[in-house]
Structure formats: structure tokens, C-alpha cells
Structure 1
């Protein structure tokens, strides 16, 4: 599945969730489309109502998963990429040039003086 990945805890993480399902229904559903005009992600169900509500719908937008490289980085993905693997919950804030490694403050204190 192009929109999900395996987290460091071996749980499935939905990096791109349908904006409508998440905000209005409090459910995490994989996004299948991104609308660059609305700046929202849509699942297959919600994209149909989106198309009907937008008469001036641009055929180049939304982007499907085949053009996922054009999708912006989601907040969940950004958070996942900026979180320390060793000290879960700690943000990566520094780079150790000696070890070529991104570090959180705890890593620096323990291993990267």
C-alpha cells in the first residue's frame, strides 16, 4: 500500500490520511488522492463528493497515488521522520558530524559528546 508504512514499533502508520474522514468522522482512512487546490487528502469515497462540489474541478488536480511524489509531506510523516528511534517521543535536534548521525538531546548527552 503506497500510503502506509511500517513504524519503528512495527505498527502500521497511516502517513497520508483522508482529511475529511479524519476531521469529520474521527477515523484514519488511507488517502488515495491529494488536491493541490484545496490542500487536502481524500480517500476514494470522499473524492467523489469533492469532485461533485467543485464544478471548476481541474483535471490535473487531485493527484492520485501514482503521483505521490507530488504530494506534500504530511504532518504525521514529518513527525515520524523527526522523532528519535532510540528515545521515542524525543525530537531530533542535532547532527553529530563524528558519527554522521541525527540525534536528540538525550543521544547527545549519552553518546555524542
Structure 2
């Protein structure tokens, strides 16, 4: 469920939101999503949600109070695919002793 994730993650001076507005993201703008439209399968910030509503008045959108209906965040999925110790290293190996996915570097040096 999405409610178990932090609303934002800090990485250096950048802020990465758990749910980013898809329309803004296409324009390389980082805005936190406030709504999700199931019919469009997209997240929207407040300004973009207003435009969405003008074009698609019959679409039902869910706000933050209905986040349990939102799909899992893209950043949460991406976070699961990449090693948290060696940034950029993809998870490729499962360590049975520790029951966790590992990147190649962690596997070689820490989980022989």
C-alpha cells in the first residue's frame, strides 16, 4: 500500500517526491502529485488537475485522502530495483542467507 511510504525522499539538495505530477515531469518540472486519475493512469499536481478537470469532467480523480486507491509509487518501485549502498547498481542476485536482493558489488564483497 502506498500509505506506508514516506511522502518525500531527500537526496542531497534535491527533493524527490513519492508521487510526482506526470504532466510536470514530462516538462522536467518536479511537482508533488495531489491527485490520481484512474482512467488516465496519471498523477496530477493542483494546477494540472484543474486543467485535467476542464478536459475530462467525467473522469473520477482521487485526492491524497484516498491514497489507498492510488497505485504504488514509481519511486518506490525504482528504489526496489537499485542498490541503496552502490547508487546505480541494479539488484541482480538474491541472498538466501539474508533474504534480500543484492547488486553484484554487494554480493561479491559482503555476501559471499
TM-score, normalisation: structure 1: 0.79
**Count of matched residue positions in the alignment of Structure 1 and Structure 2:** 108
Counterpart pick for 2:8 among 5, 18, 27: 5
Counterpart pick for 1:38 among 37, 40, 45: 40
Q: Following the alignment from structure 1 to structure 2, what is the Cα–Cα distance between the partners of residues 8 and 81?
A: 16
Counterpart pick for 1:19 among 22, 43, 66: 22
Partner of 2:110: 111
Q: 1:10 to 1:70 in 2, by over 3 A?
A: farther
Q: How far apart are residue 43 of structure 1 and its match?
A: 0.6
Q: How far apart are residue 8 of structure 1 and its match?
A: 6.3
- Kindly indicate which of the two structures has a greater share of residues assigned to strand: 2
How far does the alpha carbon of each residue in 1:33-90 deviate from its partner, in whole angstroms, 9 at most, with x for none?
A: 01000111111111111111114x14xx211111222222343331122211111111
Query: 1:84 is paired with a residue of what secondary structure?
Result: coil
Partner of 1:89: 88
Partner of 1:29: 31
Q: Structure 1: which 5+ residue stretches go unaligned?
A: none
Contact 1:94 1:103 in 2 (8 A): yes
Q: Structure 2: which 5+ residue stretches go unaligned?
A: none
